[in-house]
Amino acid sequence: MRSIVSIFTIILFSCLFICVPVSYSGDGSAIFQTKCGKCHGSGGSAPAFSPVKYAASQWKRFFDRNKHARKKDISGEISSADLESVKRYLVTHAADSDLPIAAGLR
């Protein structure tokens, strides 16, 4: 009986790790560093920036008006959930926020 439970537990955990897609879901900082950093980081084709570059309302307006698409359409490179996490990260750490972060992509 004990071996059956052990085998079942191993199968269950194996399925969890295999079936769960790789995602940063909810971690705006990690997504910002990895996905946004491809272009906005060191040696990238776009200028580097940090969350304090703009006020929270400016970040919200940037994303709500999809201004990134004017320069480059990133819809195929980042999911809408990840994009929302980046927006939340930038707004939370904007220049006028309670938790401003000046460290950004270089």
Tokens of 91: 């707004």
In a domain, 82, yes or no: yes
pLDDT per residue as tens digits for the range 12-71:
555 444 444 444 456 999 999 999 999 988 888 999 889 999 999 999 999 999 999 998
In a domain, 61, yes or no: yes
In a domain, 97, yes or no: yes
In a domain, 41, yes or no: yes
Q: How many domains does the chain have?
A: 1
In a domain, 71, yes or no: yes
Domain housing 45: 24-106
| 37, 44 contact by CB (below 8 A) | yes
CB neighbours (10 Å) of residue 74? 15
pLDDT per residue as tens digits for the range 58-79:
999 999 999 999 989 998 999 9
Query: Whole-model pTM?
Result: 0.71
d(CA 103, CA 51): 8
Tokens of 95: 């220049």
